[in-house]
């Protein structure tokens, strides 16, 4: 699906149409990507030896270096449109305000999407009374430091946000320990895995 994002206002309906067309049968939740897109998914670790959290300034810089380098490689050109997606969990009877409160999100114009009944879409993982409210914002890649506040908060396990690069139909989902990446183009995915081979997990299952 091609949309001219520079002229179309990104309403929740437009975004939901884009998501359903390109990532059908998958809720917009980070940890589900490796389950639903197994053949197109791979992971990098943010620190050597699969260390999960930074304990020194040098390690914090290494996390930002790896994640920014990969984002730059995926974005290709300065000014590439990016969607940010976050959200919050709640019980069904108390789902009025689920947006995560974190200052790194304040500068983006997030808009709520439809509430998800998680037991209906992921019955093996969630009880019947849990819902999830995703929200999205449209922005652009400008430079390697553009998202440092977000990436740092995610690395410190304060927040969950994933990035969509719609021009390439790519998902970039950092977490506290690494980044899950979904690239449907086989050639591009193979190129990325070769280029960043030193950052890939050593385990056979790619985790």
Residue 45: DSSP 8-state: E
Q: Is 21 exposed, middle or buried (0-12, 13-18, 19+ CB in 10 A)?
A: exposed
Whole-number pLDDT of residue 1: 39
- Which positions ≥6 away from 104 have C-beta within 8 Å? 149, 150, 152, 153, 159
Write out the two tokens for 189.
Answer: 């995915």
Report in angstroms the alpha-carbon separations of 174 from 52, 67, 91, 101.
12, 8, 25, 18
pLDDT digits (tens, 9 = 90+) for 34-59: 999 999 999 999 999 989 999 999 99
Q: At what angle do helices 186-195 and 57-75 cross, to 10 degrees?
A: 150
Whole-number pLDDT of residue 79: 72
pLDDT digits (tens, 9 = 90+) for 12-36: 999 999 999 999 889 999 999 999 9
pLDDT digits (tens, 9 = 90+) for 99-156: 888 999 999 999 999 989 888 888 888 888 889 999 999 998 888 888 999 999 999 9
Which of 35, 50, 94 lies closest to 201 in space, CA to CA? 50
Write out the two tokens for 187.
Answer: 């050639």
pTM of the model: 0.91
Q: Cα separation of 179 and 47, whole Å?
A: 11
Residue ranges of alpha helices (H) inside 54-106 are: 57-75
105 φ, ψ (degrees, to nearest 5): -90, -10
Q: Is the pLDDT of residue 4 over 60?
A: no
Q: Cα separation of 16 and 190, whole Å?
A: 29
């Amino acid at each position: 699906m091609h949309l001219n994002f520079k002229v179309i206002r990104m309403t929740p309906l437009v975004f939901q149409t884009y998501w359903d067309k390109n990532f059908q049968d998958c809720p917009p939740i980070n940890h589900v990507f490796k389950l639903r897109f197994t053949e197109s998914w791979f992971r990098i670790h943010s620190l050597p030896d699969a260390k999960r959290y930074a304990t020194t300034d040098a390690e914090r810089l290494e996390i930002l270096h790896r994640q920014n380098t990969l984002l730059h490689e995926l974005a290709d050109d300065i000014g590439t449109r990016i969607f940010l997606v976050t959200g919050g969990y709640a019980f069904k009877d108390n789902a009025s305000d689920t947006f995560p409160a974190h200052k790194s999100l304040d500068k983006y114009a997030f808009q709520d999407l439809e509430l998800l009944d998680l037991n209906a879409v992921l019955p093996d993982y969630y009880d019947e009374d849990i819902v999830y409210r995703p929200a999205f914002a449209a922005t652009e890649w400008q430079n390697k430091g553009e998202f440092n506040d977000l990436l740092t908060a995610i690395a410190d396990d304060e927040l969950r946000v994933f990035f969509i690069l719609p021009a390439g139909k790519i998902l970039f989902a950092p977490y506290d320990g690494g980044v899950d990446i979904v690239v449907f183009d086989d050639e591009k995915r193979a190129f990325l895995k070769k280029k960043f081979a030193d950052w890939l997990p050593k385990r056979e299952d790619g985790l």
